[in-house]
Amino acid sequence: MSGLYKVSVTVNGQAYEREVEPRLLLSDFLRHDLGLTGTHVGCEHGVCGACTVLFDGEPVRSCILLAVQADGHAVTTVEALSPNPDQLHPLQQAFWESHGLQCGFCTPGFLMTLLPFLEENADPSEEEIRHAISGNLCRCTGYQHIVDAVKLAAERRRESDG
């Protein structure tokens, strides 16, 4: 007797209302119910970080949150990053230029993890960057180019702020 529950959630600034089973994961809700397939699912048990989204502004794993728990909250996914289809977000641009991705499966999770990190850390050291991404797995890049991308994004942010 699991029944359906009403969820009212704001995703990328847009309000949605849906009826869902309580066992529906937030990651599947985003992908299947809302069609936002930018959020990727790798492990589905909290280990790989591919499914990272912002929940009320803080990065969380959407695969170990229930959609019903998002009721009344605001979620931000990777789809919110680029201002229009022809322009990348500066962090995405830096990933692209630094070869911070190969297959790209892990990339949405890295981006959503790094977005709030860069807001709190204007000039992160390599060690701080590596700590920040320690909860995200990438099978392709070996991480070095991701670290480069973060440095580049931070540098450009400082320049445009300064």
Partner 1 sequence: MKPAPFEYQAPASLDAALDILAHRVGDIGEAKVLAGGQSLIPVMNFRLAEPALLVDINKLAELDFIRRGDDGGLRIGALTRQRRLERDLSVAEVAPLLHETMPFIAHPQIRNRGTLGGSLAHADPAAELPAIAVALRARFRLRKAGGERWVDAADFFRGLFTTLLEPDEILVEVAIPPLPARTGWAFLEIARRHGDYAQVGIAALVTLDDAGRCREARLVYLSAGDRPIVAREAARLLAGQEISPQAITAAADKASRDEMEPFGDVHATAEFKRHLARVLTGRALRKAAERAERTKGRAA
Ligand X SMILES: Cc1cc2nc3c(=O)[nH]c(=O)nc-3n(C[C@H](O)[C@H](O)[C@H](O)COP(=O)(O)OP(=O)(O)OC[C@H]3O[C@@H](n4cnc5c(N)ncnc54)[C@H](O)[C@@H]3O)c2cc1C
The residues in 18-57 that bind ligand FES, with binding defined as CB under 6 A, are 41-44, 46-51
**Closest approach of Cβ 117 to ligand FES, in Å?**
17
The DSSP symbol for 66 reads: B
Distance CA 119, CA 43 (A): 28
Distance CA 21, CA 5 (A): 6
Contact set with partner 1 (CB under 8 A): 1-3, 5, 21-25, 28, 44-46, 49, 52, 55, 58-61, 63-66, 68-69, 113, 117, 130-132, 134-135
Distance CA 132, CA 93 (A): 19
Show the tokens assigned to 139: 């099978």
Q: Does 22 bind ligand X (CB under 6 A)?
A: no
Q: Does 47 bind ligand X (CB under 6 A)?
A: yes
Give φ, ψ of 11 to 5 degrees: -120, 125
Tokens 């699912």 identify what position? 41
Contacted by 28, from ligand X, ligand FES, partner 1, none: CB < 5 to 8 Å by type: partner 1
Distance CA 135, CA 130 (A): 9
Binding mask 109-138 for ligand FES (x = CB under 6 A): -----------------------------x
Evaluate whether 62 touches 26 at the Cβ level (below 8 Å).
yes
Report the residue number, 11 or 30, with the smaller CB distance to ligand FES.
30
Binding site for ligand FES (CB under 6 A): 41-44, 46-51, 61, 63, 101-106, 138-141
Binding site for ligand X (CB under 6 A): 46-47
